[in-house]
Chain A
């Protein structure tokens, strides 16, 4: 009846199972071979060869065996060794056997690999009219009904084939085995192009607005995965309607030594027998609290196993079932419970005692030998997804489980055993009805199909859950071998300890005992813990205790799946200018400015940043230097009311700016704090081109639109982002006029014709259209040359050529920072942080006294006119070589360093200066503008650095360099 290597595999004539007996798959667990068939899980293959015991338990080292056949498995956990990255904590009950699989068993905890996970993970966004979670009978029925109505349907199931618990049982539908009905349904769904069936896919989370995350395992079942197929895919599903047919999980029973290998859920025994053609034991006692385990007993008997006893907690089980099992040769013991088990590495027998109506033990006892104990503590509807999206549950005493109380999310319909309906006809009826209703509500009117005749499990008498089977000799608070959570080795005694410390809430008891914090997140142990707690607290029902909170993910998934493709190079957008590759060729070192890559400096030879920046700065101050400034934000502002609008947005005036001129502007939030700055040009009476900081472009556009749309819709103004319409270079230094003159031969660049803060439109050599302005962020004579972006590369090359004999030097952001700081020009976001006003920066000159603007009212708020506000100052370390770390605190020299030390302010910018031949810094310090000449301290690495407070303008305070050398 069995093959030699698989003594527990049942002959095909007895059970075909859902396996392919023509092929063998070879795997290794703990170095020992495991042979199985396609269709096996690792657990079923191991059971087929008689391996029921797995690794010992996590805390107590007790022998443990396979308990379940599903995702509630607490014991049979392994670390996969043969994948792209060793993956920990996978239940063997959920691993499809594949050729070459290698694993090691785990005692409740795995190990994190130091290896990089090179497997592929990706995601996909899909929309559907109806998503159905769970492809058992209810879910299949719902999908069929919705699809027949014409709706787009996604059906999701964790397993490789449809059918759910139908595959574990032996029901008939419409006079034929249920597998035929499943097969027909699977074909019908596969042929409908509006239906997508996702097998091997776990719905992890159910979020607001009918958003579900589904993790699809795409290659783990393959010996050799296709090269470019992702290992797992995270489906982001947005549905109009959600049908949850998530099924139910059988719960174990809490009694003494209930953790012995060979104690197995009755439904799992049935699943191994019918789905996998594996008989896990030859002599099986069944211990149950409800009807469903009778089917297990009947199937065991039919497959040739002995069933010495069916121990039922109920005084009067369904007479029909009792009669059936008696006829098949089994004996039912009523009003009884298993109170003890014997055996070492495998159960060898049980002791049974009578149970009173109040749950205490009666006088008689009886012993049975066995190699398997099939237990059923009842069923827990799988309400996790339902509850994740705000669905509330209630305790149903008839079902003896927590069932949905309200509708979850927008429209979730819960059907079948997920709402405590355990008879097949009821499941099909609910599925059809929910599917048809979901289709109708999403615009595809349809009626539920008729329910076929079924012959399968029927609902009989009510269950009698026993949360805590009394110990024969010990009081409950000393029940240290009554396991509630096998994975955590947590017992009834642990729960007593929790309540003795005063805890009453199930949430607290959970965290104290760690019950339900394992891999299965309480799918197996949670309700039993609630039941035991109800007993301890003498509550009327588990409903009084309530459940813990159900949170995503429903089953564990690798974090790499959530990262998907957004790793490494693809992690975040990288923005580049059209000249980027020229900077790369020039050996630039880049820095990230927001998402932009900007050249930071251009080292020559063995130069470090310090040397390169000194050289670049010197070129800008004494010769000519060039920077790519294409990253600056640009917004074209058009309309007859544009002048009025800019006057309200900027702290200084723009309405009177002449056409052809440019002006530096600063903008504030309504709270008076600096928001952004930049130069705006007036292109025409009704047309301005605003520039923003590199990082502020999007924020400023949103800001402008906010005011135009929500406060001033009467203004006739339109804003258009043109940041990337333009590429631009800043040409800086005494020789810049010569370079720009060569670049733009048609343009008169003389100081008389081309004044500061003016711009002209012209053509560059080669006919490139350009807009050239005279703006300076360095204090030097400088030009900004703008061309349509696709000419960016040509512009850079032309500029380098035009300046080659003058030693034109490309410079990066670091040099730009030094040059501007030497002039005391601030960078919004570096020298400001959202708490700084233009007045704090000493920029009163840019704050209009005449007109109103956004933020003006705030500048007279008491807090903003406080005399001790932090103000922008220059800072010169007494030692001219000391570079102050940016962000350092400023403190008085003579105060005690016992915390708290009063902080006067901090360093915002700090550099070496080639022009000053020393280090310098900018900072914000209380009353700074009154303190020029004072010396304060900057604690650096535990020692004080003395710095003198100065004006923030270090270089060319008279501004004579702006117009460049006199021409002659």
Chain B
């Protein structure tokens, strides 16, 4: 049982969260400007590193906020992500 730090509620068991995959995969500003290959890339292609990984979680059983953190996929050590783009609400 991982211990996930919700930036709002604090440390909670993994069971309170849902995993949201790779962080910072931006929804394209205008999807219709993308050709099929680029759109397919957005839909289906994600990184899968052995090591440091920016990923999203949502605190479904708590405050329902989405947030990102950095997890080492080899050790499960986690640290807070520094928001790259914009603050969550």
| Chain A residues in the interface with B (C-beta under 8 A) | 207-211, 236, 238, 390, 410, 670-671, 698, 701-702, 705-706, 708-711, 713, 852, 856-858, 861-862
What 3 A-B pairs have minimum CB-CB distances, sorted nearest first?
A857-B31, A209-B3, A208-B76
Known contacts being A209-B76, A861-B40, is A708 close to B89, with CB within 8 Å?
A: yes
Most chain A Cβ neighbours within 10 Å, of B26, B32, B56, B76 = B76
Task: Report chain B residues within 8 Å CB of A861.
Answer: 36, 39-40
Asked if residues A702 and B43 are in contact (CB atoms below 8 Å), the reply is no
User: Shortest Cβ distance from A35 into chain B, in angstroms?
Assistant: 45
Asked if residues A702 and B60 are in contact (CB atoms below 8 Å), the reply is yes
CA distance A713 to B89 in the complex (A): 6
- Which partner residue on chain A sits nearest B61 by CB separation? A698
Residue in A209, A670, A698, A709 whose beta carbon sits within 8 Å of that of B65 in the complex: A709
Residue in B27, B31, B64 whose beta carbon sits within 8 Å of that of A701 in the complex: B64
- List 13 other contacts, CB 8 Å, given A670-B27, A857-B34: A209-B1, A209-B76, A211-B3, A236-B1, A410-B77, A670-B43, A702-B58, A705-B65, A706-B66, A709-B65, A711-B27, A852-B31, A858-B39
Asked if residues B89 and A702 are in contact (CB atoms below 8 Å), the reply is no
User: Shortest Cβ distance from B2 into chain A, in angstroms?
Assistant: 6
Asked if residues A713 and B1 are in contact (CB atoms below 8 Å), the reply is no
Task: Report chain A residues within 8 Å CB of B2.
Answer: 208-209
CA distance A858 to B65 in the complex (A): 27
- Which partner residue on chain B sits nearest A210 by CB separation? B3
Asked if residues A705 and B27 are in contact (CB atoms below 8 Å), the reply is no
Task: Report chain A residues within 8 Å CB of B49.
Answer: none
User: Shortest Cβ distance from B27 into chain A, in angstroms?
Assistant: 5
Asked if residues A857 and B39 are in contact (CB atoms below 8 Å), the reply is yes
- Which partner residue on chain A sits nearest B76 by CB separation? A208
User: Shortest Cβ distance from B34 into chain A, in angstroms?
Assistant: 7
B75 at the interface (CB under 8 A from A): yes
- Which partner residue on chain B sits nearest A708 by CB separation? B89
Asked if residues B86 and A713 are in contact (CB atoms below 8 Å), the reply is yes
Query: Can you list 13 residue pairs at the A/B interface with Cβ under 8 Å?
Result: A208-B3, A390-B75, A671-B43, A701-B64, A705-B65, A709-B66, A709-B88, A710-B66, A713-B86, A713-B87, A852-B31, A857-B32, A857-B34
Task: Report chain B residues within 8 Å CB of A236.
Answer: 1
Interface residues of B in 64-88 (CB under 8 A from A): 64-66, 75-77, 86-88
B18 at the interface (CB under 8 A from A): yes
Asked if residues A238 and B3 are in contact (CB atoms below 8 Å), the reply is yes
Most chain B Cβ neighbours within 10 Å, of A208, A209, A710, A857 = A710
Task: Report chain A residues within 8 Å CB of B36.
Answer: 861-862
CA distance A359 to B79 in the complex (A): 53
Most chain A Cβ neighbours within 10 Å, of B1, B60, B77, B89 = B89
Asked if residues B39 and A702 are in contact (CB atoms below 8 Å), the reply is no
CA distance A26 to B65 in the complex (A): 61
Task: Report chain A residues within 8 Å CB of B76.
Answer: 208-209
Known contacts being A209-B76, A858-B43, A861-B39, is A705 close to B1, with CB within 8 Å?
A: no
B62 at the interface (CB under 8 A from A): no
Asked if residues B75 and A702 are in contact (CB atoms below 8 Å), the reply is no
CA distance A211 to B76 in the complex (A): 13
Known contacts being A209-B2, A706-B66, A713-B87, is A852 close to B60, with CB within 8 Å?
A: no
Task: Report chain A residues within 8 Å CB of B43.
Answer: 670-671, 858
Most chain B Cβ neighbours within 10 Å, of A698, A702, A708, A857 = A857
Residue in B1, B26, B32 whose beta carbon sits within 8 Å of that of A852 in the complex: B32
CA distance A858 to B42 in the complex (A): 11
CA distance A708 to B88 in the complex (A): 9
CA distance A390 to B40 in the complex (A): 38
Known contacts being A711-B27, A858-B39, is A706 close to B86, with CB within 8 Å?
A: no
- Which partner residue on chain A sits nearest B60 by CB separation? A702
User: Shortest Cβ distance from A645 into chain B, in angstroms?
Assistant: 13
Known contacts being A209-B76, A857-B39, A861-B36, is A706 close to B58, with CB within 8 Å?
A: yes
Asked if residues A705 and B39 are in contact (CB atoms below 8 Å), the reply is no
Interface residues of B in 16-50 (CB under 8 A from A): 18, 20, 26-27, 31-32, 34, 36, 39-40, 42-43
- Which partner residue on chain A sits nearest B3 by CB separation? A209
Asked if residues A702 and B65 are in contact (CB atoms below 8 Å), the reply is no
User: Shortest Cβ distance from B13 into chain A, in angstroms?
Assistant: 8
CA distance A390 to B36 in the complex (A): 43
Asked if residues B88 and A856 are in contact (CB atoms below 8 Å), the reply is no
Task: Report chain A residues within 8 Å CB of B31.
Answer: 852, 856-857
Asked if residues A702 and B64 are in contact (CB atoms below 8 Å), the reply is yes
CA distance A857 to B38 in the complex (A): 11
Asked if residues B34 and A706 are in contact (CB atoms below 8 Å), the reply is no
- Which partner residue on chain A sits nearest B68 by CB separation? A710
CA distance A963 to B65 in the complex (A): 43
- Which partner residue on chain B sits nearest A671 by CB separation? B43
Task: Report chain A residues within 8 Å CB of B75.
Answer: 208, 390
CA distance A707 to B40 in the complex (A): 19
- Which partner residue on chain A sits nearest B43 by CB separation? A671
CA distance A587 to B18 in the complex (A): 38
Asked if residues A705 and B3 are in contact (CB atoms below 8 Å), the reply is no
CA distance A709 to B58 in the complex (A): 10
Asked if residues A207 and B27 are in contact (CB atoms below 8 Å), the reply is no
CA distance A708 to B89 in the complex (A): 9
CA distance A706 to B67 in the complex (A): 10
User: Shortest Cβ distance from A363 into chain B, in angstroms?
Assistant: 55
Task: Report chain B residues within 8 Å CB of A708.
Answer: 89
Asked if residues A706 and B20 are in contact (CB atoms below 8 Å), the reply is yes
Asked if residues B56 and A710 are in contact (CB atoms below 8 Å), the reply is yes
Asked if residues A710 and B88 are in contact (CB atoms below 8 Å), the reply is yes
User: Shortest Cβ distance from B39 into chain A, in angstroms?
Assistant: 6
- Which partner residue on chain B sits nearest A208 by CB separation? B76
Task: Report chain B residues within 8 Å CB of A713.
Answer: 86-89
- Which partner residue on chain B sits nearest A706 by CB separation? B66
Task: Report chain A residues within 8 Å CB of B87.
Answer: 713
User: Shortest Cβ distance from B43 into chain A, in angstroms?
Assistant: 5
- Which partner residue on chain A sits nearest B74 by CB separation? A390
Task: Report chain B residues within 8 Å CB of A711.
Answer: 26-27
CA distance A208 to B89 in the complex (A): 31
CA distance A331 to B76 in the complex (A): 56
User: Shortest Cβ distance from B28 into chain A, in angstroms?
Assistant: 8
CA distance A410 to B3 in the complex (A): 12
User: Shortest Cβ distance from B63 into chain A, in angstroms?
Assistant: 10
Task: Report chain B residues within 8 Å CB of A862.
Answer: 36
User: Shortest Cβ distance from B89 into chain A, in angstroms?
Assistant: 5
CA distance A706 to B56 in the complex (A): 10
Task: Report chain A residues within 8 Å CB of B40.
Answer: 861
CA distance A611 to B36 in the complex (A): 52
Task: Report chain A residues within 8 Å CB of B60.
Answer: 698, 702
User: Shortest Cβ distance from A467 into chain B, in angstroms?
Assistant: 34
- Which partner residue on chain B sits nearest A718 by CB separation? B89
User: Shortest Cβ distance from A478 into chain B, in angstroms?
Assistant: 45
- Which partner residue on chain A sits nearest B88 by CB separation? A709
CA distance A423 to B47 in the complex (A): 51
- Which partner residue on chain A sits nearest B87 by CB separation? A713
Task: Report chain A residues within 8 Å CB of B42.
Answer: 670
CA distance A207 to B13 in the complex (A): 13
CA distance A930 to B3 in the complex (A): 54
User: Shortest Cβ distance from A205 into chain B, in angstroms?
Assistant: 10
User: Shortest Cβ distance from B79 into chain A, in angstroms?
Assistant: 12
Asked if residues A702 and B18 are in contact (CB atoms below 8 Å), the reply is yes
- Which partner residue on chain A sits nearest B5 by CB separation? A209
CA distance A710 to B86 in the complex (A): 9
Asked if residues B1 and A207 are in contact (CB atoms below 8 Å), the reply is yes
CA distance A702 to B34 in the complex (A): 27
Asked if residues A705 and B86 are in contact (CB atoms below 8 Å), the reply is no
User: Shortest Cβ distance from A129 into chain B, in angstroms?
Assistant: 14
User: Shortest Cβ distance from A749 into chain B, in angstroms?
Assistant: 38
CA distance A711 to B25 in the complex (A): 10
Task: Report chain B residues within 8 Å CB of A670.
Answer: 27, 42-43
CA distance A857 to B77 in the complex (A): 37
- Which partner residue on chain B sits nearest A127 by CB separation? B11
CA distance A710 to B85 in the complex (A): 10
CA distance A236 to B1 in the complex (A): 10
CA distance A708 to B64 in the complex (A): 12
